[in-house]
Amino acid sequence: MPMEPCIHVSGLRKSYGSVQAVDGVSFEVEYGRVFGFLGPNGAGKTTTIKVLTTIVHPSSGTVRIFGKDIVKHQREIKKRIGVVLQEPSFEANLTVERALELYGLMWGMPGEKRHDRARELIEKFDLASFKDMKNDELSIGQRRRVQVAREFMHDMDLLFLDEPTMGLDPSARRILLDYVKRHVQGGLTVFFTTHIMEEAEYLCDEIAIINRGRIIATDTPAGLKQRYGGVKAVEIKLKDSSAQSVMHIIRPIAGGSMIETPAEGTIRISSAEAQEMLVKIIESLSRNSVLIESISVNPPTLEEVFLTVIGKEA
């Protein structure tokens, strides 16, 4: 018998009064995968997480986690999931180390395991320099790091992370993403939201783009780029000529597109027809005896895809 996916969502709706926060969302997440939920502010990401983690009730639709209905099996499911929400949730007067241990206790972790786990997380998340400080003395980024680390105090099969890297510096962000990645290799399933596209690309196996409560695209990061990445950038490096000296050749061909000169002797053209233009430009340059040093065609970034997809909806 085929195994049910880790998360199965079908026709999920959630309204707050007259606000339709989630408006008929369906998707599945397989075990051991990272599923990224991307979308503009107010799109319905946090609401979806709150329903999936049984914090709020769905208005309609079905959600099954570990093959079980979340309304009927709420307690059982809650035991096996972790969640880091956007809003801070922390005890102001406890030191970082104490807070971690207390959280482990809440989850019923035995004493020694609790202590070892707290020490491991302090080391792995680089919290040692402020482990004896109280939560309300920490900077915003430090607090967020503790909040995310804390969730790893207990063992779980599925983890929801709502913008976990918000406020983190680049090195703390990388530590967190790599820590999550390692756990995914160990079998953890992750539902992840972020506004940082490089991050989504780095971590996610699959991405859904949600806008105004509806999913408007789902695919792998590479698949999304292929489907929606109309814009490509072509870069031409000239051998002995300046970029300006060949503009009279380039402009008639690439007229309406964005033309940049990122370096002396380099021309960058961004256009949906960049590749077709490239052929004409090469022909024309060679007719005019302009030597080319190198050519590269760069795929679109996930950010370009996101803006294209959301832009089409607006």
Ligand X SMILES: Nc1ncnc2c1ncn2[C@@H]1O[C@H](COP(=O)(O)OP(=O)(O)OP(=O)(O)O)[C@@H](O)[C@H]1O
What does the binding site for ligand X look like in residue numbers (CB under 6 A)? 16, 19, 21, 39, 41-47, 86
Residues with Cβ within 8 Å of residue 26, at least 6 apart in sequence: 9, 10, 11, 12, 61, 215
> Which one of the spans 37-45, 57-65, 210-218, 241-249 is the region binding Mg ion (CB under 5 A)?
37-45
67 binds, among Mg ion, ligand X, none (CB under 5 to 8 A by kind): none
Beta bridge partner(s), residue 189 = 158
118 binds, among Mg ion, ligand X, none (CB under 5 to 8 A by kind): none
Closest approach, Cβ 83 to Mg ion, in A, equals 13
Task: Judge contact between 49 and 14, C-beta under 8 A.
Answer: no
| Least distance in angstroms from the C-beta of 39 to ligand X | 5
Point out which residues pair with 82 in neighbouring strands.
Answer: 159
User: Cα(59)–Cα(55) distance, rounded to whole angstroms?
Assistant: 13
Please report how close the Cβ of residue 43 comes to ligand X at its closest, in angstroms: 4
Our CB check for ligand X shows the closer of 22 and 77 to be 22
Q: Which is nearer to Mg ion, 73 or 195 (CB)?
A: 195
Give the separation between CA 32 and CA 137, rounded to whole angstroms.
Answer: 36
| Contacted by 95, from ligand X, Mg ion, none: CB < 5 to 8 Å by type | none
Based on the shown chain and the rule CB under 5 A, indicate whether residue 194 belongs to the binding site for Mg ion: no
Order of strands, sheet of 158-162, starting from the edge strand that comes earlier in the sequence: 81-84, 158-162, 189-193, 34-38, 206-211, 214-219
Determine which residue in the list 6, 8, 25, 46 makes contact with Mg ion, applying CB under 5 A: 46
Q: Which is nearer to ligand X, 41 or 171 (CB)?
A: 41
Q: Which residue, 25 or 122, has its beta carbon nearer to ligand X?
A: 25
Min dist. Cβ of residue 44 to Mg ion (A)? 8
155: enclosing H helix or E strand:
none
CB closer to ligand X out of 37 and 152:
37
39 binds, among Mg ion, ligand X, none (CB under 5 to 8 A by kind): ligand X
Residue 32, judged by CB atoms within 10 A of its CB (0-12, 13-18, 19+), counts as: middle
48 binds Mg ion (CB under 5 A): no
Q: Judged by CB, which is closer to Mg ion: 84, or 269?
A: 84
How many H helices and E strands in the chain? 11, 14
Considering the complex, state which of residue 42 and residue 252 has its C-beta at the smaller distance from Mg ion: 42
Q: What torsion do the CA atoms of 99, 37, 199, 116 make, to the nearest 10 degrees?
A: 30
The residue among 144, 99, 102, 105 whose CA lies nearest residue 126 is 144
Residue 120, token pair as written in the block: 């491991």
Picked from ligand X, Mg ion, none, the partner binding residue 41 (CB below 5 to 8 A depending on kind) is: ligand X
Give least dist CB 45 to Mg ion, A: 5
DSSP letter (8 states) at residue 134: B
CA distances from 87 to 22, 82, 144, 163, 305 (A): 19, 15, 10, 10, 28
The one of ligand X, Mg ion, none whose footprint includes residue 16, by CB under 5 to 8 A per kind, is ligand X
Q: How far is the CB of 303 from Mg ion (least distance, A)?
A: 19
Helices (H), the chain: 45-52, 74-78, 96-106, 111-124, 140-151, 170-185, 197-203, 221-228, 247-254, 274-287, 302-313
Q: Does 47 bind Mg ion (CB under 5 A)?
A: no
- Closer by beta carbon to ligand X, 47 or else 165: 47
Q: Choosing among Mg ion, ligand X, none, which partner's interface includes residue 19 (Cβ < 5 to 8 Å by kind)? A: ligand X
What is the binding site for Mg ion (CB under 5 A)?
45-46
